Structure 1
Amino acid sequence: MSFWTHLDTLVSQHRIIIDRPKGTAHPRYPDSIYPYDYGYLENTTGGDGHGIDIWRGSQPTETVQAIICTIDLQKANNEIKIIIGCAPEEINTIHSYHCTFDQQGLLIRRT
């Protein structure tokens, strides 16, 4: 199986928990508004010790379309963010959300 197939399997085998719906503020940074649904995969472990992060856009698919590899200087960690159900412009918006002063993201699109 390929990297992308493994990610699809991970998403299909773990419930998506959206704990930060589109339009809500970040709990520690109230000026940072989530442009799309953001959450994690239940019973998984990401780079921060919590569930693997996932973004869900407006499209009805749960096939993994892209990932963003992030480096966060404030937290001194790195993570991946899985992206599903997004139109191309939604993926770009999510990528921009992860490119701030303390955090940078590398977008890798599924081909």
Structure 2
Amino acid sequence: MKALENNVYFWQKLDTLLLSCTCTIDRPKGSTHFKYSNLVYPVDYGFLADSVGSDQSPIDLFKGSGKANRVEAIAISADILKKDCEVKLLVGCTEQETEKILQFLNQTQFQKAILVRRGKEMPSWATSD
């Protein structure tokens, strides 16, 4: 098995979550983190109201300048201060915005993140709905 096998149905589920929840932007592009003033948000940042992430808070998202209404990538971060891992959706982000988001998420020694880009592949084990 590959280290990562993209599944088109996974991305469809993320799109359904995105479209069925209200997107709330609580940290506009250029604003600073509420605890760490040196962290400046490169794009709008918020959450999907009416959703629940692994930390029991709503699912986080970065909203870029594009008009896309689909999830193009996810960032998975590991934070040793909070002792957690989180998934953040990237919606409507240009390539340059995506790079800035990765830089933002990886700029401290306490948190690191990876990016998983949307794919079109369907593994042989995947089944449709």
Shorter-chain TM-score range: over 0.9
Give 3-state SS (helix, strand or coil) of 2:56's partner: coil
User: TM-score scaled to structure 1, two decimals?
Assistant: 0.96
CA distance in 1, matches of 2:100, 2:42: 7
**Counterpart in the other structure of 2:87:** 80
SS of corresponding position for 2:85:
strand
Percent of aligned positions with the same letter in both sequences? 38
Report the equivalent of 1:38: 45
SS of match in other structure, 1:41: strand
Hey, what does 2:122 align to over in structure 1? none
Aligned counterpart in structure 2 of residue 110 of structure 1, from 113, 118, 126: 118
Asked if 2 retains the 8 angstrom alpha-carbon contact of 1:69 and 1:105, the reply is yes
With a CA cutoff of 8 Å and minimum separation of 6, indicate the structure with the bigger relative contact order.
Answer: 2
CA contact 1:64–1:84 (8 Å) conserved in 2: yes
Question: Is 1:93 aligned to 2:93, yes or no?
Answer: no
Aligned CA-pair RMSD: 1.0
Larger Rg: 2
Q: Verify: 1:56 aligned to 2:63, yes or no.
A: yes
Name the residue aligned to 1:26. 33
Contact map agreement 1:22 1:38 (CA 8 A) in 2: yes
What is the match of residue 21 of structure 2? 14
The separation in 2 between residues aligned to 1:96 and 1:67, in whole angstroms, is 14
Counterpart of 2:76 in structure 1 is: 69
Q: Equivalents in 1 of 2:75, 2:93: separation in Å? A: 13
Moved over 3 A (4+): none
Runs of 5+ in structure 2 lacking a partner?
A: 1-7, 120-129
